Amino acid sequence: MCAWCCPKEKCPNNSSLNEGDKCPTCGLKAKEFGFFELKLLNEAKKNKSQESPNEPKGENKILAIFGDDGKELPSMKKVTNNLLKAIFEQNKIIIQQNKVIQKLLKKK
Ligand SMILES: [Zn+2]
């Protein structure tokens, strides 16, 4: 999987662009990145553009909850919100698991 993306680490824009495009945020020409390169770039962008209002996604969100990157902890309200969201997601998985177990028990 490859993607064209803004190569500037300090630029918060990490949306995928097309070949020959210029970054709408900083105007730099898009570069082609492989899957892992892109992951590293996005990681760098995330760390270097703390002022960006973009919410971290997926595993980064979990890291953000616990301030794992050694930076100042997010506000208590944000932590609480994120924890509630995480618990809610986990409950959905448990409900799903229970449904599967019930189905298996009915078969016997
Ligand atoms: Zn850019």
d(CA 83, CA 89): 10
Mean predicted confidence (pLDDT) in 13-37: 92
d(CA 52, CA 72): 15
From 34, 54, 74, the end of a domain falls on 54
Q: How far is the CA of 13 from the centre of ligand 1 (A)?
A: 5
User: Which domain, by its residues, includes 80?
Assistant: 56-108
* pLDDT > 70? residue 102: yes
More confident residue, 72 or 48: 48
Nearest 5°: the CA angle 19, 35, 55 is: 90
Domain match, 107 and 94 both: yes
Q: How far is the CA of 73 from the centre of ligand 1 (A)?
A: 27
Q: How far is the CA of 82 from the centre of ligand 1 (A)?
A: 28
* pLDDT > 80? residue 32: yes
Q: What is the pLDDT of residues 42-63, one digit of tens each?
A: 988 888 766 555 555 565 665 5
In terms of Cβ atoms closer than 10 Å to its own Cβ (0-12, 13-18, 19+), residue 5 is buried
Domain match, 77 and 44 both: no
Domain match, 73 and 97 both: yes
| Two tokens, residue 62 | 């979990």
Domain match, 43 and 68 both: no
Mean predicted confidence (pLDDT) in 24-53: 85
Cα-trace Rg, the chain: 19
Percent of the chain with pLDDT over 90: 44
Q: How far is the CA of 27 from the centre of ligand 1 (A)?
A: 6
Domain count, the chain: 2
Q: How far is the CA of 18 from the centre of ligand 1 (A)?
A: 13
Q: How far is the CA of 25 from the centre of ligand 1 (A)?
A: 5
- Which pLDDT value is given to residue 26? 95
* pLDDT > 80? residue 72: no
Specify the pTM: 0.43
